[in-house]
RNA sequence: GGAGAAAUGGCAGAGUGGUCGAAUGCGGCAGUCUUGAAAACUGUUGAGGGUCACACCUCCGGGGGUUCGAAUCCCUCUUUCUCCGCCA
């Protein structure tokens, strides 16, 4: 969420920047500014009236104490008469605040200068790639076939007990998942991220804090009876740790990591792209979250990108890094790098990580501030990234490491799996 | 799930209708003293809105109500604690 004073002072620049998202924000920004003017004048009028009433009330108390009941009663009638006006002004103010809030929720974050223009994922800019795409032998299979052949993932069983998109991992498949989780968490904690285990359901306020609500209700599973949401990512509980926090500058940066399952309804997805592990309703992910000083947030973003790179290098998977274009950029993000691993048997790239700087956009919603050296309060910057999303990493390993004899395990994972081959 | 008690500033904890945004202690910050630190002493120290700056307004778990006036009274929700029941 953008701040109103910022909008007031930078309207034209915001309109220009949001064009990269293919959004014309002019009308909404104008509405915000004019409602804010009304809001402030109403607030001033209300404050003035209340001040009068407060003075009179205090006087009434003094008059009663000094036994001057007649005069006190007269004043009382005067204040009573003002109450209707007070209520009307307060209602107006409330309504302006609500209108303002609603409009502010509609405006996405301002893209960073580096964000390329564009409307679809085809316009994303490749900024880095590494690792050789292996030439597969004759008879190489896509991961869902491999999963069946080696009996390590049972999609049908998941469908039976829950529904499509909820696979069951078995035997060495389950063990490999657990190995990946442990490996990722170890990498993250070695880099200074503090490991957390968090609730997998969150309340409505948390959904608002990170920007899933309003508008994206349909993406999350909602437990109606208790009004809780299943988390679509650990970003939601972890970033909301800091909701309504005022921290000391010296506490920054704050680095957290958490492994959680993630639940996504993925309404509207269909076809070959949801095959196998490509798109699931429940999947595992290890997340990293940072709360940063605004001065450091872009250096931190680069650091997170390097961190994820290192993991992929160790796994020896072919991957590339994309800088998302305006049209593909998430609502709350100012700059996002996507990591994609190459799925050899499918001959396509699969997104396995998304690393973003939200600048103050989430912090403003969260009321996450820090006190600087002068004692001034500033919004902090929040960032997060996946390190990594499990299913597609697993798909990448299965497909790229397959041999006629079986699936080799990346060397770095062997200490975690306890075996070096799935056969 | 049932019964009872409670929720106040970073923390602890006073405050039961007006002079309370709130005593006191701890903590934090600044200073005095000290070679430096500690101790001691002095001062300072909640948040939001609003203003050029003041003024002023709002906030004592959330929401609503009574009253000229609410931290204080009433209703409701949430959370915490104690006891009982159930339970991994």
What value of ipTM does the predicted structure carry?
A: 0.85
Residue A407 has pLDDT above 90, yes or no: yes
Q: Identify nearest nucleotide to residue A52 by CA to C1′ distance.
A: B56
Q: Identify nearest nucleotide to residue A61 by CA to C1′ distance.
A: B18
Q: Identify nearest nucleotide to residue A50 by CA to C1′ distance.
A: B57
Residue with token string 């004019």: A34
Residue with token string 């896509």: A142
Lowest-pLDDT choice from A47-61, A204-218, A355-369, A393-407: A204-218
Instruction: Render pLDDT for A362-385 as a digit per residue (tens, 0 to 9).
Output: 999 998 988 877 778 889 999 999
Residue A176 has pLDDT above 70, yes or no: yes
A366 CA, B79 C1': separation in Å?
A: 21
Q: Which residues of A are annotated as a binding site for ATP?
A: 264-266, 351-354
Residue A174 has pLDDT above 80, yes or no: yes
Q: Which domains does chain A have, with CATH numbers?
A: 4-106 (1.10.287.40), 121-422 (3.30.930.10)
- Positions of chain B reached by protein Cβ under 7 A: 18-19, 47-51, 55-58, 68-69
Predicted local confidence at residue A226, as pLDDT: 81
Q: Which of A123-132, A137-146, A182-191 has the highest mean pLDDT?
A: A182-191
Q: What is the mean pLDDT of residues A355-366?
A: 94
Task: Give the residue nearest to nucleotide B57 (CA to C1').
Answer: A47
Instruction: Please state whether A199 falls in left (phi above 0), alpha (psi between -120 and 50) or beta.
Output: beta
The two structure tokens encoding residue A99: 């209108």
Q: Identify nearest nucleotide to residue A244 by CA to C1′ distance.
A: B47
Predicted local confidence at residue A272, as pLDDT: 61
A48 CA, B66 C1': separation in Å?
A: 24
Q: What is the DSSP secondary-structure string of A144-157? A: HHHHHHTT-EEHHH
Q: What is the mean pLDDT of residues A353-361?
A: 96
Predicted local confidence at residue A337, as pLDDT: 97
> How, if at all, do strands A254-263 and A194-196 pair?
parallel
Q: Identify nearest nucleotide to residue A54 by CA to C1′ distance.
A: B69
Distance CA A418, CA A34 (A): 65
A47 CA, B56 C1': separation in Å?
A: 7
Crossing angle of the two packed helices A26-65 and A4-19, in degrees rounded to 10: 170
Instruction: Render pLDDT for A264-322 as a digit per residue (tens, 0 to 9).
Output: 998 766 666 778 899 999 999 999 999 999 999 999 999 999 999 999 999 999 999 99
Helix (H, G, I), strand (E, B) or coil at A401: coil
Does the N-terminal peptide bond of residue A311 adopt cis geometry, omega within 30 degrees of 0? no
Percent of chain A scored above 70 by pLDDT? 99
Smallest CA-to-CA distance from A103 within A214, A195, A13 is with: A214
Distance CA A378, CA A383 (A): 16
Using 50, 70 and 90 to split pLDDT, how confident is the model at A213?
A: confident
Q: What is the DSSP secondary-structure string of A162-180? A: T-TT--EE-HHHHHHHHHH
The dihedral built from the CA positions of residue A153, A154, A159 and A162, taken in this order, carries a sign that is negative
Residues with CB under 7 A from strand B: A 40, 43-44, 46-48, 50-51, 53-58, 60-61, 64, 76, 79-80, 83, 246, 369, 377
């Amino acid at each position: 969420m953008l701040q109103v004073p910022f909008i007031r002072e930078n309207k034209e620049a915001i309109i220009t920047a949001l064009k990269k998202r293919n959004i014309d924000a002019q009308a909404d920004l104008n509405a915000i500014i004019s409602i804010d003017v009304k809001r402030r004048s109403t607030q001033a009028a209300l404050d003035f009236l209340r001040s009068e009433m407060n003075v009179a009330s205090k006087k009434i108390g003094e008059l009663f104490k000094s036994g001057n009941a007649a005069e006190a009663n007269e004043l009382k009638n005067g204040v009573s008469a003002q109450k209707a006006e007070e209520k009307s002004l307060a209602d107006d103010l409330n309504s302006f605040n609500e209108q303002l809030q609603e409009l502010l929720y509609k405006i996405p974050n301002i893209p960073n200068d580096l964000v390329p223009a564009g409307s679809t994922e085809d316009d994303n800019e490749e900024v880095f790639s590494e690792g050789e795409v292996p030439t597969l032998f004759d008879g190489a299979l896509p991961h869902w076939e491999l999963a069946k052949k080696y009996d390590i993932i049972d999609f049908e069983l998941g469908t039976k007990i829950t529904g499509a998109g909820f696979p069951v991992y078995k035997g060495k498949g389950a063990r490999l998942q657990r190995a990946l989780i442990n490996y990722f968490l170890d990498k993250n904690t070695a880099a200074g991220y503090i490991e957390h285990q968090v609730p997998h359901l969150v309340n409505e306020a948390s959904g608002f804090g990170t920007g899933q609500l309003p508008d994206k209700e349909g993406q999350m599973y909602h437990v109606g009876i208790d009004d809780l949401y299943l988390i679509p990512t650990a970003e939601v509980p972890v970033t909301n740790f800091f909701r309504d926090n005022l921290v000391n500058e010296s506490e920054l940066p704050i680095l957290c990591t958490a492994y959680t399952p993630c639940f996504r309804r993925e309404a509207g997805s269909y076809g070959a792209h949801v095959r196998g592990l490509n798109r699931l309703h429940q999947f595992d992910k290890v997340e990293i979250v940072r709360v940063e000083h605004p001065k450091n947030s872009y250096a931190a973003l680069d650091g997170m990108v390097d961190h994820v790179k290192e993991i992929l290098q160790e796994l020896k998977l072919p991957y590339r890094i994309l800088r998302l274009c305006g049209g593909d950029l998430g609502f709350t993000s100012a700059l996002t790098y996507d990591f994609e691993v190459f799925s050899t048997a499918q001959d396509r790239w699969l997104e396995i990580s998304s690393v973003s700087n939200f600048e103050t956009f989430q912090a403003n919603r969260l009321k996450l501030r820090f006190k600087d050296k002068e004692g001034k309060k500033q919004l902090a910057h929040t960032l997060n990234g996946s390190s990594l999303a499990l299913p597609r990493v697993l798909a990448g390993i299965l497909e790229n490491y397959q041999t006629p004899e079986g699936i080799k395990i990346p060397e770095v994972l062997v200490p975690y799996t306890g075996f070096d081959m799935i056969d």
